[in-house]
Amino acid sequence: MATHTHVHKHSAGIFEYRDVEKKKLTLSLIITAVVMVVEVVGGVLSRSIALISDAGHMFTHAFAITISLVAIVIASRPPCHHRTFGLYRAEILAAFINGLFLLGVGGLIIYEAIERIVKPEDVLALDMLVIALIGLAVNAVSILILHGSHRRNINIKGVFYHMIADAASSVGIVCAAVIIYFTGWNIIDPIVSIGISLVIVFWAWGILKESSKILLEMAPTGLNVDVIMEDLKEKFDEIKELEHAHLWTITADMLVFSAHVMLDDTHKSAEDQNHLVAEINSHLWKKYHIIESTIQILCEGASATCPLIPEGGD
């Protein structure tokens, strides 16, 4: 058996990247918390369920960011003898919890909005408009802060897309406020809040689905072990067969691969095998960003590990 790993070098890069994430999330948390309080006060004063629902969405973001920050601190603890991959999965657990929480909040807001449709109340459209514009501006700032980081981390991705959803909901509230101001159609307010809630549920389902796949050690979306096996057999002529191949995810940007590789009888030397393993690992890293791979070498006709024949041996 031969192994090759990029995990130590990769971990150093992750720790540095997580520090940047932590600063961005902290800044977003401060901004989100301030606007959340403003929207709650504004929603109560203007009697707008849409504003209050958007404040609820802001609260879910603040909650999500807080969990993400805690998870980043936990995940930054280095590997040791009883947690050999570290605690990177803490971030995935955080994302899963956030997804469940979002589903509950979305359902609660939909319930409140339906009650408002059944028992409508007057809405102070001008106040609602001003608060919504403030929320829109803050969401835009948060999106700019988190842009780019969302591509590498599921927590950042969740917060980033929620911010986009918040911006869209703020636009909806602005439109609703304008319509209510000129027409007096107060029913627009709960209808918009239901729309916002559906967005919350949609993103919550996406985060739950993605985090569950990682927790269940499934291959990442768009990639499976069959694709890698076929690619390796085409790339390396020495490989006669691949067996017992496994691909799983430690966290969103950490993939691990293992397989039994069957070679022909012309590649029994230790030098040949070590060279091939190094080439395979390099290929997996460059093409699929697999940080660690374990390759078990077998020879054609052998039932166990391929015997290593020293250079110059018979």
Q: What is the pLDDT of residue 2?
A: 46
**Per-residue pLDDT tens over the stretch 139-177:** 788 788 777 655 556 666 666 776 776 777 778 778 888
Give the list of residues 6+ apart from residue 38 with CB closer than 8 angstroms, or none.
131, 134, 135
**Domain ranges for the chain:** 2-215, 225-299
CB-CB neighbours of 234 under 10 Å: 9
Q: What is the pLDDT of residue 150?
A: 53
Domain 2-215: which CATH number of 3.30.365.10, 2.40.37.10, 1.20.120.1200, 1.20.1510.10: 1.20.1510.10
Q: What is the pLDDT of residue 98?
A: 77
Q: Are 2 and 297 in contact (CB under 8 A)?
A: yes
Q: What is the pLDDT of residue 252?
A: 67
Q: Are 167 and 93 in contact (CB under 8 A)?
A: no
Report the C-alpha gap between 185 and 287 in whole angstroms: 56
Q: What is the pLDDT of residue 195?
A: 82
The enclosing H or E element of 302 equals none
Q: Are 123 and 132 in contact (CB under 8 A)?
A: no
**Per-residue pLDDT tens over the stretch 110-140:** 887 888 888 877 777 777 787 778 778 877 8
Q: What is the pLDDT of residue 302?
A: 52
Regions of the chain where pLDDT drops below 70: 1-20, 50, 53-54, 57, 60, 75, 78-86, 148-159, 162, 165, 252-253, 265-268, 299-314
Indicate the CATH number for domain 225-299: 3.30.70.1350
Report the C-alpha gap between 268 and 266 in whole angstroms: 6
> pTM score, two decimals?
0.66
Report the C-alpha gap between 24 and 18 in whole angstroms: 10
